[in-house]
Structure 1
Amino acid sequence: MHAMQYEITLPADYDMGFIRARVAEKGHLLDDFAGLGVKAYLVRERGVDGSPVNQYAPFYLWTSPQGMNAFLWGPGFQGIVRDFGRPVVQHWTGVAYEEGRAAGNVARAAVRRRTPVEAGADLPRLMAESVESVTRLAAAEGVVYAAAAVDPRTWELLTFSVWDHASPDAPGDVYQVLHLSQPERKLLPRGRQW
């Protein structure tokens, strides 16, 4: 599993209705994309759930690197580049994934938590704790799915969860989910990723 996200920060007075309309018009285009486990079309609006910015920030869980590459070099991402400029694409290698108690429910919100991994950290222990954390998170009321991943270049641990209600009580950046494309969600490997 590979996690990926890019963030497009928009002006403070930007009409987020344009992003909502874009997702409503084009979101379904990845509903059968090979290699894509799930794409959460995410937005943050300035002043909502503590967000300091207006932002479009889709989050992906890929079942294969081929799917991720096909997207990045294909027409979908080129449309983003054409309309907003080329964003930095962050990516992390998978640590854990679990379906949540609310797996069949409509996604309403997502929470992304980024934590630096200290230089002296016991990596095997930290990764095992992350797996346990994802298992506990997935068991929480209202969680659709949860994942953890790490960027070994910057040594950042990422925890990501999707919820069936707005404003979940979890630490991190809170997003509104506009749509989920999930063609290969059932193929995402559950539990520990090594």
Structure 2
Amino acid sequence: MHAMQYELTLPADYDMGVIRDRVARIGHLLDDWDGLGIKAYLMRERGTHGSPVNQYAPFYLWNTVEGMNSFLWTGAFQGLADGFGRPVARQWTGLSYEEGPAADSVPAVAVRHRLPVPEGVVLSEVADEAVRETGRLAERDGAVLAATAVDTSRWELVRFSLWAHDAPQADGEVFQVLHVSVPGRETLPAGRQW
């Protein structure tokens, strides 16, 4: 599993209806994308859920690097880059993935929590705790799913979760979910990723 996210931070007075309309118009295009586990079309709106910014920030869980590369390099990503400028596409290597008790629900919000891996720690202990925390998060009421991944170029963990209600039981930045494409969700490997 590979995680990926890019963020388009938009002006404070930007009409976020443009983003909603864009997702309503083209969100379905990845509903059968080969190699994609899940794409959550995410948005933060200034003043909603404590967000200080307007932002479009889709989050992906990929089953294959080939699927991710195909998305980035064969034209699908080009439309976004042409319309908004080419954003940095952050990538993380998967550590764990778990379905939650609300797995069959349509997600209302997502939570992303990024945290550094401190110097001087035993990396295997950090990874084991990340796996356990993913499981604990996924067990909470309203959890659709939880995943944790790591960017070893920055030594940063990212914990991502989807929730069936607007009151997630997780710390981090809260995003509205506009659409979810799940062509390969059932083949995302559950549990520890090594």
TM bracket (short chain): over 0.9
Task: Give the Å deviation of 1:169.
Answer: 3.2
- Provide the C-alpha distance between the structure 1 equivalents of 2:72 and 2:50, rounded to a whole number of angstroms: 31
Secondary structure class of the residue paired with 2:93: strand
Q: Which residue of 2 aligns with 1:46?
A: 46
Contact 1:49 1:167 in 2 (8 A): no
- Provide the C-alpha distance between the structure 2 equivalents of 1:24 and 1:142, rounded to a whole number of angstroms: 25
- Provide the C-alpha distance between the structure 1 equivalents of 2:182 and 2:161, rounded to a whole number of angstroms: 15
Q: Which residue of 2 aligns with 1:168?
A: 168
Q: Which residue of 2 aligns with 1:90?
A: 90
Q: Which residue of 2 aligns with 1:102?
A: 102
Secondary structure class of the residue paired with 1:37: strand
Task: Give the Å deviation of 1:19.
Answer: 0.2
Q: Which residue of 1 aligns with 2:32?
A: 32
Secondary structure class of the residue paired with 1:5: strand
Task: Give the Å deviation of 1:46.
Answer: 0.4
- Deviation sequence 1:98-146 (CA, Å, 0-9, x none): 0111000011000000001111121100100010101111110001110
1:113 pairs with 2:113: yes
- Provide the C-alpha distance between the structure 2 equivalents of 1:60 and 1:32, rounded to a whole number of angstroms: 14
- May I ask how many residue pairs the two structures share in their alignment? 194
Contact 2:140 2:169 in 1 (8 A): no
**Structure 2 segments unaligned to the other structure (5+ residues):** none
- Provide the C-alpha distance between the structure 2 equivalents of 1:74 and 1:54, rounded to a whole number of angstroms: 28
Secondary structure class of the residue paired with 1:153: coil
Runs of at least 4 residues off by over 6 Å: none
Letter in 2 for 1:175: F
**Structure 1 segments unaligned to the other structure (5+ residues):** none
CA RMSD of superposed structures (Å) = 0.6
Q: How does 1:5-16 map to 2 (within 5 A)?
A: 5-16=5-16
Q: How does 1:134-145 map to 2 (within 5 A)?
A: 134-145=134-145
Letter in 2 for 1:157: L
Secondary structure class of the residue paired with 1:28: helix
Q: Which residue of 2 aligns with 1:182?
A: 182
Contact 1:2 1:93 in 2 (8 A): yes
Task: Give the Å deviation of 1:190.
Answer: 0.3
Q: How does 1:61-80 map to 2 (within 5 A)?
A: 61-80=61-80
Contact 2:46 2:53 in 1 (8 A): yes
- Provide the C-alpha distance between the structure 2 equivalents of 1:26 and 1:76, rounded to a whole number of angstroms: 11
Q: Which residue of 1 aligns with 2:147?
A: 147
Contact 1:111 1:175 in 2 (8 A): yes
Secondary structure class of the residue paired with 2:145: strand
- Provide the C-alpha distance between the structure 2 equivalents of 1:179 and 1:12, rounded to a whole number of angstroms: 23
Contact 1:95 1:192 in 2 (8 A): yes
TM-score, normalising length from structure 1? Answer: 0.99
Change (3 A) 1:169 1:139: closer
1:2 pairs with 2:2: yes
Q: Which residue of 2 aligns with 1:156?
A: 156
Letter in 2 for 1:78: Q
Secondary structure class of the residue paired with 1:149: strand
Contact 1:36 1:184 in 2 (8 A): yes
- Provide the C-alpha distance between the structure 2 equivalents of 1:174 and 1:161, rounded to a whole number of angstroms: 10
Task: Give the Å deviation of 1:170.
Answer: 1.6
